[in-house]
Structure 1
Amino acid sequence: MNWDDERPRPARTITVGEPIDTHGLAELRERVAALEAEITRTKAEIERKRSIEIAAASLFKS
């Protein structure tokens, strides 16, 4: 048994625009999943900041 096979792989840094033609199918699927998770996280932050902006605007309208 090779202990190197048991170690978790370090998370790969994804760079937008990097060449992806050398990636295998599994790597491409992992990349899509990571990018989708980042999109979800970014949209949640946009909504959070938007709700703060709306609350601040309503405070100053009164």
Structure 2
Amino acid sequence: MAIFDDEPKKKARPHEIGQDLSLLSVGDLTERIGILRDEIARLENELRAKDSTKSAAEALFRRG
């Protein structure tokens, strides 16, 4: 914790695939699991959006 407000705050390091997990606490691991789950949901939403756009484009070109 910073003693003074002008001290830089510690930034959480992003998760790196394949990194050594033995140095992380249970809290750190739980936090990273949450972050990764959120990221997976974001990726899945983008994939669904792209699939629906692709399907709409394919349907448009099949009409002719």
**TM score, norm. by length of structure 2:** 0.81
- Counting aligned pairs with the same residue, the percent is 30
User: Across the two proteins, how many residue pairs are aligned to each other?
Assistant: 61
Letter of the 2:42 partner, please give it: R
**TM score, norm. by length of structure 1:** 0.84
Greater helix proportion: 1
**5+ unaligned residues in a row in structure 2: which ranges?**
none
Runs of 4 or more above 6 Å deviation: none
**5+ unaligned residues in a row in structure 1: which ranges?**
none
Cα deviation, 1:9-57, whole Å, max 9, x if unaligned, reads 3132111111101100110011100000000000000001000000000
Q: Which has the higher contact order (CA 8 A, sep 6+)?
A: 1
